[in-house]
Amino acid sequence: EPEVTQTPSHQVTQMGQEVILRCVPISNHLYFYWYRQILGQKVEFLVSFYNNEISEKSEIFDDQFSVERPDGSNFTLKIRSTKLEDSAMYFCASSDSRGRTQYFGPGTRLLVL
């Protein structure tokens, strides 16, 4: 069964460093998303992406964040200068042309020290 994959599974970084989280969405899906879950809190929407541009973004997704689909398979989330409060699980998701049911990857656990 097709699935969303994410790398790395864990990332530890120093505050102020840049990180890139990678995702390979399900191959025939058209819509791509990033969510995060801070420990003990809800899963929160960050950004959605369609047709090589951002469709929606939340207020969390400030200028420190960017997304890119550098080729036909990868979808990346870059955090330019990490802060302590960026420590969280980051989930990538994708959905098909109907765009309603989103399928999630296993997540990347980001720890900012």
Partner 1 sequence: DQQVKQNSPSLSVQEGRISILNCDYTNSMFDYFLWYKKYPAEGPTFLISISSIKDKNEDGRFTVFLNKSAKHLSLHIVPSQPGDSAVYFCAAIISGSARQLTFGSGTQLTVLP
Residues forming contacts to partner 1 in the complex (CB under 8 A) are: 4, 6, 31-33, 35, 41-45, 48-50, 55-56, 58, 91, 93, 95, 99-107, 109
The minimum distance between CB 99 and partner 1, in angstroms, equals 6
The minimum distance between CB 54 and partner 1, in angstroms, equals 9
**Contact between 10 and 31 (Cβ < 8 Å):** no
Task: Choose between 65 and 104: whose C-beta lies nearer to partner 1.
Answer: 104
Angle at 79 between CA 44 and CA 21, to 5 degrees: 80
In the block, tokens 């819509």 appear at: 31
